[in-house]
Structure 1
Amino acid sequence: MLIEKVIRKLKGNPDYKWESKYDLRDLVEITSVRFKQVLRGSWKKIFFKASNGLVFIGTGVIIRHPYLFTAGANLILEDHVYINALSCKGIFVKDNVSLARNCTMICTGVIAHKGVGITIGNNSGINAGAYLAGQGGIEIGDDVIIGPGVKIFSENHNFSDTDKNIKDQGVTRSSVVIENNCWIGAGATILAGVTIGEGSVIAAGCVVTKSVASNSIVAGVPGRVLKNRKPGEVEVIIKSITRPDVTKYG
């Protein structure tokens, strides 16, 4: 199929296959939408810090501070994605990354405290309605699947002083790292300071408060390691997942 060959070339993946059969009407609709997205992307990427290859942009996409946004080849931003790249390092997205509709990426919350930024690796996909807050820095590796409604926070409000309003007590920032080949299930929440080890699976609705080792399967609130994906491997986490210190929970 011609379209399959084109996608293989764009992605640089000779093994890419369409696993479903499409009729002519399906193909016309798909190619029409993608063509319109390329036209929008061709205009918007002029304002990016850097861009390498095609950019597909849907309707209603907003990119604030695009001069701090770097796009790899074949970036797809579906309808109503919101991006604010204002930060020290900006937002750096590598090749073959997609953000589904209604995703949000911000790097600075309170304007007085400029944030760190966000990096997303090759071949990673972020599903609808995900929220990434990169004030303290977020690093997402290659081949990562992030489900719909996932929330990732790298900043928390301090609230230990009961004589002050919470909003006046400042914040604590700590980076989040999601290593290669992870699957973050729908509605999961990842809190500041967490590292998700390579090959890990985070169950839907899980709240991850502590770092987990490679190939961990994590579920629950707060998240706990159920087992390791590698048979016989010791089922441990980098730091025991327990109730977080209240001064760092947000």
Structure 2
Amino acid sequence: MIEKLISKLKNDPNYKLETSHSNRDLFAVAWVRFFQLIRGLFLKFFFKRSTGLVFAGTHVKVRHGYQISAGKNLIIDDNVSINALSTNGITIGDNVSIARDSILFCTGVIAHRGAGITIGDRTGIGARAFLAGQGGITIGNDVITGPNIQVFSENHNFDNLTQTIKEQGVTKQAVIIGNNCWLGGGITILAGVMLGDGCVVAAGSVVNKSFPANSIIAGVPAKLIKSREAL
């Protein structure tokens, strides 16, 4: 029954539980999801748009929810903080999950209104993610992310030695992550980076430049290791 329910929610007739679970395990999962659904029903009331179910964990904080558009079956885990204040708001596709302790925000200081964040269908944001969408972040469909990723889309200017860095303002540059990418745990993606479809980023990498589709990259700073097309 649980398998059929998940299959229907995900609109995936081929969905299967790959391992067997006891009735106790399944009851515990269903129990948590039930209360997440109750909290989500209250939360989605504050969204600009929500076309399906919202599952919300405990201690979820959402500010400027009227700038959030969500698709079907959004899961927001415990302790997630979302601040959608921005020009374009936050747009989230179908069947997206945002794991616990993640932070999504679009405006750093009120004087510099940010651009926003877009997350595509079936993408999973790992635990403790930090998505700073001042210059705009776009994440494609079917993207997998490990825990502790950081994505920045704004930099402080520091060229003028006669002024404090704080006084010199910021430069905003959008980050674009293509479809079907795998972003390893603990990676950092800096402002202005574009990753093509199908890229794989090794855990702990610092990505400070763009890479074409199907690149396998690793290192600090990240370098091209090989192309998936050559495998």
**Fold-level match, TM-score > 0.5?**
yes
Specify the alignment match of 1:150 in structure 2.
149
AA matched with 1:178: I
Specify the alignment match of 1:160 in structure 2.
159
Write the distance in 2 (CA, Å) between the matches of 1:175 and 1:10. 32
Specify the alignment match of 2:169 in structure 1.
170
Secondary structure of the residue aligned to 2:35 is helix
Matched, 1:224 2:223: yes
Write the distance in 1 (CA, Å) between the matches of 2:47 and 2:210. 33
Specify the alignment match of 1:138 in structure 2.
137
AA matched with 2:145: I
AA matched with 1:207: V
Specify the alignment match of 1:98 in structure 2.
97
Write the distance in 2 (CA, Å) between the matches of 1:147 and 1:132. 13
Specify the alignment match of 1:211 in structure 2.
210
Specify the alignment match of 1:187 in structure 2.
186
Specify the alignment match of 1:240 in structure 2.
none
Specify the alignment match of 1:61 in structure 2.
60
CA deviation after TM superposition for structure 1 residue 178, in Å: 0.4
Q: How does 1:64-83 map to 2 (within 5 A)?
A: 64-83=63-82
Secondary structure of the residue aligned to 1:162 is coil
Write the distance in 2 (CA, Å) between the matches of 1:182 and 1:34. 28
Secondary structure of the residue aligned to 2:230 is coil
Write the distance in 2 (CA, Å) between the matches of 1:115 and 1:17. 41
Write the distance in 1 (CA, Å) between the matches of 2:229 and 2:82. 37
| Structure 1 unmatched runs, 5+ | 233-250
Identical aligned residues as a percent: 57
Write the distance in 1 (CA, Å) between the matches of 2:23 and 2:217. 43
AA matched with 2:69: T
Secondary structure of the residue aligned to 1:193 is coil
Matched, 1:4 2:10: no
Specify the alignment match of 1:237 in structure 2.
none
TM-score, with length taken from structure 2: 0.99
Write the distance in 2 (CA, Å) between the matches of 1:214 and 1:146. 17
Secondary structure of the residue aligned to 2:138 is strand
Alignment RMSD (CA, Å): 0.7
Secondary structure of the residue aligned to 1:230 is helix
AA matched with 2:84: A
Specify the alignment match of 1:239 in structure 2.
none
| Structure 2 unmatched runs, 5+ | none
List structure 1 segments (4+ residues) > 3 angstroms apart after TM superposition.
none
CA deviation after TM superposition for structure 1 residue 135, in Å: 0.2
User: What is the number of residues matched between the two proteins?
Assistant: 231
